[in-house]
Amino acid sequence: MSFYPRIYFACHTRHVPDPKRNRILSSHQASVLDHLDEIEPTGLLTLAAHMGVTASTMSLMIDRLARNGYVIRERDASDGRRVGLRLTKAGVRIKSEKSVLDPKRVRAVLDQLTAEERRQAIHGLALLAQASARAMQNSASQPQIRSHA
């Protein structure tokens, strides 16, 4: 459990460039885009709760993303107090182009290894990926237990 945070910190993307708009998005902004869809709106309160922030914090983040053309805010037709969030075409583009890992940082980490260590590391990651896929498949096939509390 202690290995993943060290690897993530060394290799994760800190900023997401948008060369078409000549902007840089923070990893937090890009994470918000990851949780939105271009067709199905997501409620601001739902998104804030899911991401573990207050509604006002999320509202400020959405304000910036909307101002820069990545998100559309819409009032719910059945309840005008509720706000739905959807991605714009630019938001969809950023969501599809970005990666959690920065290829340059990953390369810099891999360059610290000998050829044999690199082969072993990649083999180990492949094994973890295969086991992860099986675990996800098994999890999806298990009946979900619902709490009625």
Max intra-chain CA distance, the chain: 61
Identify the CA nearest to 83 among candidates 33, 42, 30.
42
User: Which amino acid is located at 134 in the chain?
Assistant: R
On the question of pLDDT at 146 being above 50, the answer is no
On the question of pLDDT at 37 being above 80, the answer is yes
Residue range 77-134, pLDDT digits in tens: 888 888 899 999 999 999 988 777 778 889 999 999 999 999 999 999 999 988 988 8
The string of DSSP codes covering 99-138 is -SB-HHHHHHHHTTS-HHHHHHHHHHHHHHHHHHHHHHHH
Residue range 52-89, pLDDT digits in tens: 999 999 999 999 999 999 999 998 888 888 889 999 99
